[in-house]
Amino acid sequence: MKALLQRVTTARVEVAGEVVGCIDQGLLVLVGVEPGDDQAKADKMLRRLLDYRVFNDAEGRMNCSLRDVRGGLLLVSQFTLAADTRKGLRPGFSTAAAPADAEALFTYMLAQAEQSHAPVASGRFAATMQVHLVNDGPVTFLLEV
């Protein structure tokens, strides 16, 4: 499982012009599910996302987590994050989980996030989405579990 997290001052996801998820300060997280990923990996990734120290403390150092700053979490499923890009000029998607498996795991992760953190928002699985964000820093990290 891969998660590309971006520290944002604001972010929103639109589908066909409708806002389906939005947050103010927090993390926009693009989630890529790979074959073999399971609920244990989703739980581990969620813990890392909520506790990863990417927000500045009073001294301007990255010592605060999403929980510490009570920021928003916007989760967006993105199968292209799991693509194989090691060779050639076109990505391969055999390294991404099957859509039904990915949707089930993403839905599980979203439900777990909603139980343990607020505010939580999401994009819409398998939809063509427009993601708008103001990257704060910019701060962007790729996490893998």
End-to-end CA distance of the chain: 6
Question: pTM for this one?
Answer: 0.96
Query: Average pLDDT of 13-23?
Result: 98
Distance from C-alpha of 89 to C-alpha of 123, rounded to nearest angstrom: 28
Distance from C-alpha of 91 to C-alpha of 27, rounded to nearest angstrom: 26
- From 80, 85, 93, 130, the catalytic residue: 80
112 is catalytic: no
The pLDDT tens digits for 24-42 are 999 999 999 999 999 999 9
Reported as type and span, the H/E element at residue 128 is none
Backbone angles phi, psi at 105, to 5 degrees: -70, -40
- From 6, 55, 78, 106, the catalytic residue: 78
Q: Are 31 and 77 in contact (CB under 8 A)?
A: yes
Task: Using DSSP, state whether 55 is helix, strand or coil.
Answer: strand
80 is catalytic: yes
Tell me the pLDDT band of 86, cut-offs 50, 70 and 90: very high
Q: Which CATH architecture has domain 2-140?
A: 3-Layer(bba) Sandwich (3.50)
79 is catalytic: yes
